[in-house]
Structure 1
Amino acid sequence: MIEPFQTTFSVPMTCESCVKDISTSLYKLDGINKVDANLKDQLVFIEGTAPPSSIVSVIQDTGRDAILRGSGTTNSSAVCILETHSNAVSNKIRGLARMVQVSPNITLVDLTINGIAPGKYWATIREAGDISQGAVSTGGIWESLKAKVIGNDAVPEKEPRGIFGSVEVDDKGRGNVFLDRPVAIWELIGRSMVVSSNKEGPFRREDENTLVGVIARSAGVWDNDKMVCSCSGKNVWQERQEQVGQGMA
């Protein structure tokens, strides 16, 4: 059973009617336990088990945009921007994986894909975080030793913990899946994620439908209150427009 977790979103709201409209719509979504909208700070705090991508879609259906600002608690969240390393395409960013650890051994993964060929794709965590050559340089599927009990003896057995699951991409090049895996966030940081129709490899760098990215920590619910990026000087909504233009929702 998935444990409830917290997420927070920036949402443009002008009055209490906006707050009511958003809250009413969100409570109709399966997995929403609590909604707390702050008009002054333009933030919506949510507790439940609904995927962040579904929450964004519901808010957008009210005629407003939404930006995920944080999820889970400090050191329990991660993100992976997925891109193709093919030189044949200019818009290389094709997906995003948001991750939040909801219990000591369970991490939820909200995977969104946009702009690749239709079909079934596998999301795997790789041994290395080297994406200098795209998926080619990420190594094999992440494995770890666990003890398998045979009689009274515990025998080490390799388990491919890095096989996270599959996602179906439709005719418009879009796919979304919500996965849960028995791993902790700290085990994933610095590793790479590959999304490909070929689960095991080998991969080709010039395959524009194979995506790869490095998993990095992201803000918890209470950790990210910045509205302007210190690097670019752009506010979160300007950055959002660029992300949408690159196919990231």
Structure 2
Amino acid sequence: MGSLGVQPFQASIHKIEANLKDQLFYIEGTAAPSSIVSAIESTGRDAILRGSGKSNSAGVCILETHAKAVSDPVRGLARMVQISEEHTLVDLTLRGVSPGTYYATVRETGDISRGAASTGGIWGSIKTLAGFNQPRGVFGTIQVGKEGRGSTFLDQPVSVWEIVGRSMVVSKQQESPFQPEDQDTLVGVIARSAGVWDNDKTVCSCSGKTVWEERKEQTGKGML
């Protein structure tokens, strides 16, 4: 579960508060939001994530392929939660892609007009006398199985405000040149997401969709 260049941590839940009247749960910890929703759904109930992290400390990225031959381009979803000044957790899910190892990187720009090809280099590449340091935008890898699905929990020493507006690329290759018709190269712009109780209606400041609309849409696509 750990990302490249970062020590893995033990995900856990520290506190749970239940409001049975409003059917709401407040959960405090470092477990992946997707795993919490899945656990609740395993009891036969429906569940959505209303928010995570504090205000201005959560992000979301809808990952799409720019291959023209694909009718449904959405193939991934990344939720980001900042848990300390410079420590962000990324809950990454892929579906409908070919099996293999995929690299998740944050790029210099948010220009996805030509897919991954127009996003620029990996964010945070700093050259030293000894060469290039590990870029801050190298978030880690995700394994996709034979069924075309994969999920992972990555942690990275960055703040959410530093990456909002930039793009995320998930591909079998870490660096360009990316092929525009590669169905397994996914890209999306990182947007600010609602924090816990920050906004009980919208999941992302860019889409304006309610959490239930997003839930229905993503479930229909097999993402959740």
- Same fold, TM-score > 0.5, yes or no: yes
Tell me which of the two structures has the higher relative contact order, counting C-alpha pairs closer than 8 angstroms and 6 or more residues apart.
2
Please, what is the CA RMSD of the aligned residues? 2.8
**Which of 32, 50, 57 matches 1:76?**
57
**Which of 37, 41, 44 matches 1:56?**
37
Change (3 A) 1:214 1:73: same
Query: How far did 1:235 drift?
Result: 5.8
**Which of 116, 121, 126 matches 1:140?**
121
The whole-number CA distance in structure 2 between the counterparts of 1:193 and 1:226 is: 25
Report matched runs for 1:66-215 at 5 Å.
66-145=47-126, 158-215=133-190
Unaligned 5+ segments in structure 1 are 5-29
Percent of paired sites with the same residue = 65
Return the TM-score normalized by structure 2.
0.87
The residue type equivalent to 2:117 in the other structure is V
**1:177-204: per-residue Cα shift (whole Å, max 9, x none)?**
1111111111101000000001012101
Do the aligned residues in 1 keep the contact of 2:123 with 2:135 (CA within 8 Å)? yes
**Which of 12, 19, 29 matches 1:38?**
19
Query: How far did 1:233 drift?
Result: 10
Structure number with higher strand proportion: 1
Change (3 A) 1:156 1:122: closer
The whole-number CA distance in structure 2 between the counterparts of 1:3 and 1:67 is: 25
Query: How far did 1:247 drift?
Result: 3.0
Partner of 1:246: 221
The whole-number CA distance in structure 2 between the counterparts of 1:135 and 1:203 is: 6
Query: How far did 1:159 drift?
Result: 3.9
The whole-number CA distance in structure 2 between the counterparts of 1:108 and 1:219 is: 15
The residue type equivalent to 2:124 in the other structure is E
Pairs aligned (count): 217
The residue type equivalent to 2:72 in the other structure is N
Change (3 A) 1:233 1:207: closer
Change (3 A) 1:64 1:77: same
Change (3 A) 1:65 1:160: same
Bigger radius of gyration, 1 or 2? 1
Secondary structure of residue in 1 paired with 2:178: coil
**1:78-99: per-residue Cα shift (whole Å, max 9, x none)?**
0101011111111111111110
Secondary structure of residue in 2 paired with 1:57: helix
Structure number with higher helix proportion: 1
Do the aligned residues in 2 keep the contact of 1:126 with 1:141 (CA within 8 Å)? yes
Partner of 2:4: none
The whole-number CA distance in structure 1 between the counterparts of 2:165 and 2:149 is: 26
The whole-number CA distance in structure 1 between the counterparts of 2:211 and 2:91 is: 21
The residue type equivalent to 2:174 in the other structure is K
Do the aligned residues in 2 keep the contact of 1:3 with 1:49 (CA within 8 Å)? no
The whole-number CA distance in structure 2 between the counterparts of 1:161 and 1:235 is: 32
Do the aligned residues in 2 keep the contact of 1:94 with 1:247 (CA within 8 Å)? no
The whole-number CA distance in structure 2 between the counterparts of 1:115 and 1:175 is: 9
The whole-number CA distance in structure 2 between the counterparts of 1:200 and 1:3 is: 27
**1:154-193: per-residue Cα shift (whole Å, max 9, x none)?**
x996541111000000111111111111111111010000
Query: How far did 1:36 drift?
Result: 1.4
Do the aligned residues in 2 keep the contact of 1:112 with 1:177 (CA within 8 Å)? yes
Do the aligned residues in 2 keep the contact of 1:82 with 1:213 (CA within 8 Å)? yes
